[in-house]
Structure 1
Amino acid sequence: MSSSGQIGHNQWFWRFVALGVLAAGIAGFVALQILKPRPAVSPPVRQLPLVRVTPVEFRNGALPVTGHGLVKPRAEIGLAAEISGKVSYVSPALVTGGAFSAGDVLIRIDPEPFRAALAQARADRESALATLKLAEQQLARNQQLVAKGFLSRQTLDERIAGRDQAKAALARAEASEDSRRIDLERTTIRAPFGGKVLSEKIDLGETVQPGKELARIFADEVVEIPVSLTDRDVALITDPWRDNAYVGNEKVPATVTVEHGNARYAWPGRVDRIEAAVDSATRTFNVVVRVDKPAARGTPVSAGAASPPPLLVGMYASVEIAGRDQGRYAVVPRRALRDGGTLWLLGTGDTVSIQPVRVLREANETAAVSAEGLPEGARVIVSDLKVVTQGMAVRVVVEPRATPAPTEHPAS
C-alpha cells in the first residue's frame, strides 16, 4: 500500500472515532436530563396588605362645635356733619383707638353763625306774631262796624284775608325758628354710645360739608364673632333657630379663645343668633357668638401667659360652642372615614370589618361618629387600600415614634 493510501485510511478512522464520542456524549446528556430528580413545586406565597390602625376613642355627653372668626363690633357707625361750617372743637378722645362715653362731645362746628340765624328767626317770629295780633284786633273792630252798617262786607272780607295771611306768616316764622334751632343743635356732634374710635379724618379749623364722614366709631360694651358652620354643625346646637339659643333656661354657652404672643387667652360668650341668609358661595350658616365686656382681660389657658389682653376688634378667634348631649359617641381620625360614612375596622383574626356609621361632625383632623355598631376596644384602619372587601385578611403595622420605618406586628 502506498503512503498516500495509508494517510487517507487513518483520517477516516479518526473521523468515525470522533463521531462515536460525540454521539455517546449526547446520549449521556439526554439520559441525565431524563433520570434527574424533579424539584418540589411550592405553592405561591400570598402577600397580605399592610395597614395602620389606631384605637377608637369613645366619649359621652355633649359634642362641642368649633369654628373661627374675626371679632367685630356689635354697633359701628360713621360720624358725619349734617350742616356746613368750620370745625371749632375736636375731642382729645377722637383719635384712632381713643375711648369715649355715651353723650360725650366729639366734634363741634362753630355755632356763632347758627346762633345769629336763630336769633333772626326768633325776631321774625315775634314780628309775625305782632302782625297777627294787629290783624285780629282790626278784624274784631270791623266786624262791629259791619254789624252797625258803617262798613261794607267787602272790607270785612279783606280784614279776614289779612288775618289769615298773618297766621300763615307766623307759622312760617315758627318753622324757620325750629329749623334754625335744629341747625344750632347739629353744630355739636355727640357719641350715641360708649366705645372707641376706629378711624378719624377731621382737623381743627377744617370746613366740613353735610354728609362728609368725619370719623368711624364702634361700641365696645359688646363684640360679636360670626362663625361659619355647616348645616351638620348647626344641627348639634340646641334649638339655634330661636331669637336666642337656649339650653333649658340658660343661653347656649361658648368659649372664645385668642392667641396672643406665645399664649392663649379665653373669654366666656354665648350664642346670640344665626344670620338670616345662607352664604351663597360656601353654603354655610353664620352663627353669631356674643361676648359681653370684651375690655376685660382674657383668662390664660396655656403656659407662657404674661399680660392678658382685652378682646379687641379685628382679632382672629377660635370659638367652641356647647353642643347637644349626644350620649355615647366615637372620635376617629378624619382620614379613617370612607365614602363619608363608613369605617374599616380591624376585625377578628386581622380581617377587615366594614362598618357604616352616622357622621356627627368633622373638624380639623378628627371626626365624631355615632357609636352604634362599634365594639369596645375597636381599632380603625387609617391606611388607604385600592380594594377592600368584608373579611379581607391584612397585616397590621405599628409606627414607633422613635424610628422612622414601620415594623410589622401581629394584632392582638
Structure 2
Amino acid sequence: MISMAFKKRALLPPLIIIVAIALVVLLGMLRPQLPMRSMERPAVLVEIQEAQAEDINLLVSGQGNVMAKHTTSLVTQVSGQVIEIAPNFHNGGYFNKGDMIIKIDPQDYQVALQNAKANLAQAKAALAEESARAKVAKEEWESLQLGEIPALGLREPQVASAVAAVQSAEAAVAKAQRDLDRTVIRAPFAGLLQNKNVDLGQFVNQSNQVAQMMGTEIAEVRVPLSDRDLAYLQLPSKDQESDFPRVRLSSFVAGEKYEWQGRLVRSEGVLDSNSRVIYGVVEIKDPYNREGQTHEEILRFGRFVQLEIEGKYVENVFRVPRYALNTDGNLWLVDEERRLKRQHVEVLRAEENQVIINEGLEAGDKVVLTQLANALPSMKVRLPGDPLPQQMERPKAEQDDTAVAAKDASDEAGE
C-alpha cells in the first residue's frame, strides 16, 4: 500500500504539467486569431542627385614641359680676343633685343676696313681715268670723221675692267665693315642667357659657341593629344588669336599652386610613330613678366605643368558621378512613388570622377548615387528625410497571454 501511494504521488507533477500544456494549447485553438498583415520588405535608404541640365565647354587635360619658343646658339663669326663682356653675361642673365653681349678686339678689323676703303678709292680713281681716256678717244675719232668708232677705240674693255675693280673694292669694303660689326655679338631677341662658354680675355676662333639664348617673349608647351581628345577639341585653323582655344596651366611653386593662361595655337600635324598621338602646341605670352605683371608668378622654362584645354561647347548635358553609372551603361532613378527605375543613358564623355550625359536624362530626374547590390526595378526605396516604413508585428496582448500561461505551467511543475 505504501509503495502504491508513493507511485501515485510521483506521477502527479508530470500529469499536472501535461494538463497545463494541453489547456494552453486548447485555449489558443479556441481563441479567435487576429488577422495578420503581410510583412513588407523594409525600404532601402538611398542617396540621390537631382539632374540639372548645363551648357558647358568640354575640357581636355594634358601635361608637358615649358620651353622657349625661340632658342638659338650664339657663335662667333670672327676670331680675336674678348675685350668686353656685358654685366649680365652669365647663366640666367636677361637681355633685350640688340643688347651687347661680348665684344672682340676690333683693331685688326678696323685696319682691314681702312685698307678696303683705300683700295676702293684707288679703283674709283682708275675708273675715272679710264672714263676720261675713253671720252678723249671718242672726240678724236669723231674729229677725223673716220666712220663708226670701234669698241677698242673707245677703250671699252679698259673701262669695263675699271668698273669691275670698283665693284670688287666696294664688296671688300662691305665685307670689312661686316667683319668689324661682327666683333660685337648682340642679342638677336629679348631673352635670357644659358650655357655660357667664353669669358673676358679669352681668345675665340670663328664659329666658337659663346652661349645659348632663350627667348622670353613667348613660351611653349607641347601637349600630347589622343584621337579621343581630338574629338572634343576644335583645333585652330586660322591666324585669328580669338579662335585659338584657351588653356589653363597649373603647377606648384614653393608649395603653392599657381595658374597661367595660354592658347592652343597649332598642332604639329603628324602622329608620333611610337605613341600614336599628335602634339598640340600651347603658347604663353611673356612667361617671365618682362613686359609687366602679366602673370601672378613667373613661368620658368623647364617647369612641368598640368593643362586644361577648352574644348567644344555642348548644350543640355548632365554631369553625374562616375560611380553612379552601372557596368551596363544604365542609371537607377527614383520615381514619384519612391520606386527604382532603370534608365539607359548615352554618355558623351567619361572623365576621371564623372560622366557627361547627353541623352536619357531630364532635368529634375532623381539619380541614385548609392551602390545597391541587389537592386531590382520597382523596388521600394526611401530618401533622406522620408518617414520610416510601417511594419506589422503580432499584437503585444497576444504575446503577453502566451507568456503568462507558460509561466503558470512552470510554477505548478515546481510544486
TM-score (norm 2): 0.66
Offset, 1:65? 2.3
1:107 correspondence with 2:96 = no
CA distance in 1, matches of 2:376, 2:258: 49
SS in 1 for 2:359: coil
Residues 102 and 238 of structure 1, relative CA distance in 2, 3 Å threshold: same
Q: Rate the CA distance shift 1:223–1:105 in 2: closer, same or farther, 3 A.
A: same
Task: Please name the residue that 1:277 is paired with.
Answer: 270
The 8 Å contact of residues 83 and 187 in structure 1, kept in 2 or not, is answered as yes
- Deviation string 1:281-314 (CA, Å, 9 cap, x unpaired) is 2222323222222224697xxxxxxxx6411111
Partner of 1:317: 305
Letter of the 1:312 counterpart: R
Distance 2:241 2:51 in 1: 30
Please show how residues 251-400 of structure 1 align to structure 2 within 5 Å: 251-296=244-289, 309-327=297-315, 328-333=317-322, 343-346=329-332, 355=344, 357-362=346-351, 365-374=352-361, 376-379=365-368
Match of 1:140 among 117, 132, 135: 135
Aligned-pair identity in percent equals: 26
Counterpart check, 1:177 vs 2:173 = yes
User: Letter of the aligned partner of 1:189 in structure 2?
Assistant: I
**Residue 189 of structure 1: how far off its partner (Å):** 1.4
Cα displacement (A) at 1:173: 1.0
Distance 1:74 1:214, change over 3 A: same
Cα offset for 1:113?
Answer: 0.8
Is contact 1:360-1:368 (8 Å) kept? yes
Contact 1:57/1:332 (8 A) holds in 2 = no
Shift of 1:176: 1.0
Matches within 5 A, 1:206-245: 206-238=202-234, 240-244=236-240
* AA in 1 matched with 2:79: S
Counterpart residue number, 2:34: none
In structure 1, distance between residues paired with 2:126 and 2:312:
76
- Note if contact 2:345-2:357 (Cα within 8 Å) is conserved in structure 1: no
Of the structure 1 ranges 133-142 and 70-79, higher mean CA displacement relative to structure 2 is found in: 133-142
Per the alignment, in what secondary structure is the counterpart of residue 204 of structure 1?
coil
Structure 2 CA distance, aligned partners of 1:377 and 1:347?
5
**Deviation per CA, 1:29-74, whole angstroms, max 9, x where unpaired?**
xxxxxxxxxxxxxxxxxxxxxxx99969866222222221111112
Aligned partner of 2:252: which letter?
E
Distance 1:154 1:227, change over 3 A: closer
Question: Does residue 61 in structure 1 map to residue 48 in structure 2?
Answer: no
Deviations 1:245-283 (A, max 9, x none): 646xxx533222111122101122233222332323222
Query: Aligned partners of 1:191, 1:254: CA distance in 2, in Å?
Result: 30
Opposite residue 132 of structure 1, the aligned amino acid is L
Structure with bigger RCO (C-alpha 8 Å, 6+ apart)? 2
Match of 2:200 among 196, 201, 204: 204
Instruction: State the aligned residue count.
Output: 324
Residue ranges of structure 2 left out of the alignment (5+ in a row): 1-45, 382-415
Q: 1:381 to 1:179 in 2, by over 3 A?
A: farther
Deviations 1:112-143 (A, max 9, x none): 11111110000001111111111222222233
From the superposition, tell whether residues 165 and 298 of structure 1 become closer, same or farther in structure 2 (CA, over 3 Å).
Answer: closer
| Distance verdict in 2 for CA 1:57–1:238, change over 3 Å | farther
Question: Which of 184, 189, 194 is matched with 2:190 structurally?
Answer: 194
Q: Can you list the C-alpha shifts for 1:349-394, whole angstroms capped at 9, x where unaligned?
A: 99995846334254xx3353324124733347989x9xx9x97999
Summarize the Cα distance change of 1:105–1:344 in structure 2 as closer, same or farther, 3 Å threshold.
same
Secondary structure of 1:71's aligned partner: strand
Match of 2:155? Answer: 159
Q: Which residue of 2 aligns with 1:16?
A: none
Q: Measured at CA, do residues 381 and 157 of structure 1 come closer, stay the same or move farther in structure 2, by a change above 3 Å?
A: farther
- Give a deviation string over 1:132-183, Cα, whole Å, max 9, x none: 11122222223333445599x8995483322222121111111111111111
| Closer, same or farther: CA 320–138 of 1 in aligned 2, 3 Å | same
Residues 74, 138 of structure 1: alpha-carbon distance in 2 compared, 3 angstrom cutoff: same
Bigger shift: residues 285-294 or 368-377: 368-377
- Contact 2:49 2:369 survives alignment (8 Å): yes
